[in-house]
């Protein structure tokens, strides 16, 4: 069960790390103040969740695993390319929704795969998923 806890927590940690990286890069391209506020809120949510996950991992004797540099470089390149020519709020919202949905899928897969994880750990994953769905609902307003 300890390995399942660590695996699920690390899945959440990697997703929040990628989310922080992506929102930081996108933020500078956002001119619409409402969308800018949403992107900033999402960054704050990722940072808060990442901190909670890291603490829970340390508490259980584990360590956070970082996403590999290749994946981060691919995401940075994709964001730069996708925002270079089109900085319209609708396009930025679409990029954010796509990335958020990818995070939801990744964490859902891990939640299903590691169903033997402790209740507290599964609740953290479920709370993260609920919050991400709320983020998508907010971002849809900008399409």
For the stretch 26-39, pLDDT in tens is 999 999 999 999 99
pLDDT at residue 131, rounded to an integer: 97
Domain positions in the chain are 2-140
Whether the model clears a pTM of 0.85, i.e. scores above it, the answer is yes
Q: Taking a C-beta distance cutoff of 8 angstroms, is the pair 107, 12 a contact?
A: yes
Torsion angle of the four alpha carbons 14, 17, 23, 26, in this order, in degrees rounded to the nearest 10: -80
The fold of 2-140 is Ferritin (1.20.1260)
């Amino acid at each position: 069960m300890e390995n399942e806890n660590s695996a699920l927590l690390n899945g959440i940690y990697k997703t929040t790390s990628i989310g922080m990286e992506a929102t930081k890069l996108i933020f500078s391209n956002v001119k619409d103040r409402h969308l800018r506020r949403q992107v900033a809120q999402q960054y704050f949510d990722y940072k808060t969740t990442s901190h909670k996950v890291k603490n829970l991992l340390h508490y259980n004797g584990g360590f956070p695993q970082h996403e590999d540099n290749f994946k981060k470089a691919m995401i940075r390149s994709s964001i730069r390319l996708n925002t270079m020519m089109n900085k319209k709020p609708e396009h930025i919202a679409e990029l954010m929704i796509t990335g958020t949905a990818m995070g939801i899928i990744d964490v859902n897969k891990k939640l299903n795969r590691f169903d033997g994880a402790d209740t507290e750990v599964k609740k953290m994953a479920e709370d993260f998923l609920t919050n991400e769905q709320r983020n998508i609902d907010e971002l849809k307003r900008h399409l």
